[in-house]
Amino acid sequence: MAFYSDNNVKTRIIDPRIYVPGRRATFELDASEAAYLPNLRLAVLGGTSNPAHSYSRLVGCAALIRSIRLLDGKQELCALNEAQFYRGFQQQNKANSSAESVASNLNCTGIGLSVNGTNGKIARIAKTASTDTPANVANTDTSLIDLKEMLPFLAAMTHLPTALFTNLRLEIEMDDNILSQVLVVNNVLLNTVRPVLIVDVLENPKVVNKLNKGLGAVQWAEVEHDQFVIPQSAADGATAADQGIVQEVNVKLNGFNNKILDRLLIVKEISDPLKEIDTNAVQGYGKWSSQGCYKQTIQYRVNGSNILPRNGIVGNNERLAYVVDTYGECANYPGSNIYGMDTSDVMDAGRQYRAQLDYIGIFVGQYIQDLQIEYSRTGLHDTDTKRATTSALIAHCYGEVRKSFQLTGNGMYNIGYVQQ
């Protein structure tokens, strides 16, 4: 933009108006500025621990963000709930090289793998960000998050004029619970550091007035959350009675009713996060991963009609193909979506990462009056502590629904769901 070359833009660093360590942070954007550019960045998100440890390998420091929302007074402009699981998907929804070289450094994750030149196995070779001790807080690694990725309303707007948005604020609900696996161990407390918000402001009212003339109707894809439960099998795979038993789950989701639903992502959380722990160490990507199951099938029924041919999605790589076709390239690895596949011969700590990136994604593109999901998996008798194909799972559903911003005159606006 030309803004940056003619001194019309100034960068400000905003401290939280309210900050309760590990619980919440609220940032208020000063209405005395003429306008804000929408490229808000959340910085210095992280913490310290004693001893030092790496952050979540999948989510990084964003494992601290349970929910985030942007408001103008009482009007919610955009929000993301159950943000950690969706953010985990976003971190691996990149080319491996980009995840390894760029995103993992900005977000303090361990996504992005290379080949270990010593043993020829796939491994995380690049440095992984970590905390430092409270005495060395200046040296602890923290993340820098482009909030357009979490709040798509920002990506749709050219600017945020304060004459229109008179009381902008950003609210973050934080989660530093030791069971939330923000770190790669579950027996060390994390002490969060105070995050800051980096904003670019337009000071020249003439520039803002010119931009305001082009401000009209805007649409974006709001990410909304719903969920359903996949119950535990009778014996949770502990006995031969579960071997080969097909478990079917038919659910109706109401969270997307009366909205146009485009992309729909399902992330399968194991309901007992302790099953991702071995001697206080988080296994692989931990609780924020999406669990693979044996012989899964899924069909979507929208407004009374199946949207997939025949039996729906039935194969491991068919699921992955749908995700890539719908969302783009993913930084996967051998066995990332296949239940029970031990890749220790080709990947360092391969058993830890078995079937931990098994997402389900599809494009719907319809106005929803009735949405049903038919899901099935097959049980196995298994002696491992974690038995995802028979354990209780929580299926988090993240749907992109069309919303719009519309000026109504007299310095007022309306935000609502697109109906056609």
Interatomic CA distance for residues 226 and 296, integer angstroms: 20
Phi, psi of 279 (to 5 degrees): 50, 55
Whether the predicted pLDDT of 1 surpasses 60: no
The separation between the first and the last C-alpha atoms of the chain, rounded to the nearest angstrom, is 33
pLDDT for res 8: 84
pLDDT for res 280: 94
pLDDT digits (tens, 9 = 90+) for 123-180: 999 989 999 999 999 999 999 999 999 999 999 999 999 999 999 999 999 999 988 9
Whether the predicted pLDDT of 266 surpasses 90: yes
Return the residue matching tokens 């309306």. 414
pLDDT band at 3 (very low <50, low <70, confident <90, very high): low
Over residues 399-411, the mean pLDDT reads 93
Between residues 335 and 216, the one the model is more confident about: 335
pLDDT band at 409 (very low <50, low <70, confident <90, very high): confident
pLDDT for res 4: 60
The set of residues, in sequence order, having a beta carbon less than 8 Å from that of 86 and lying 6+ positions away, is 80, 223, 225, 265, 267, 396, 398
Interatomic CA distance for residues 195 and 142, integer angstroms: 9
Give percent of the chain above pLDDT 90: 91
pLDDT for res 216: 85
Find the radius of gyration of the CA atoms of the chain. Answer: 23
pLDDT for res 235: 87
pLDDT for res 15: 98
Over residues 54-66, the mean pLDDT reads 97
> Domains in the chain, please, with CATH?
8-215 (2.70.9.10), 220-402 (2.70.9)
Interatomic CA distance for residues 340 and 351, integer angstroms: 9
pLDDT for res 236: 87
pLDDT digits (tens, 9 = 90+) for 93-131: 999 999 999 999 999 999 999 999 999 999 999 989 999
The set of residues, in sequence order, having a beta carbon less than 8 Å from that of 109 and lying 6+ positions away, is 55, 56, 57, 58, 59, 60, 91, 99, 103, 128, 129
Interatomic CA distance for residues 257 and 43, integer angstroms: 36
Half-sphere exposure of 214 (CA within 13 A, CB side): 9
Whether the predicted pLDDT of 2 surpasses 60: no
Q: Which two tokens stand for residue 199?
A: 């904003």
Query: 351 in helix, strand or coil?
Result: helix
pLDDT for res 407: 93
**What pTM, to 2 d.p., does this model score?**
0.96
Query: 174 in helix, strand or coil?
Result: strand
pLDDT digits (tens, 9 = 90+) for 219-237: 999 999 999 999 999 888 8
CB 302 within 8 A of CB 288: no
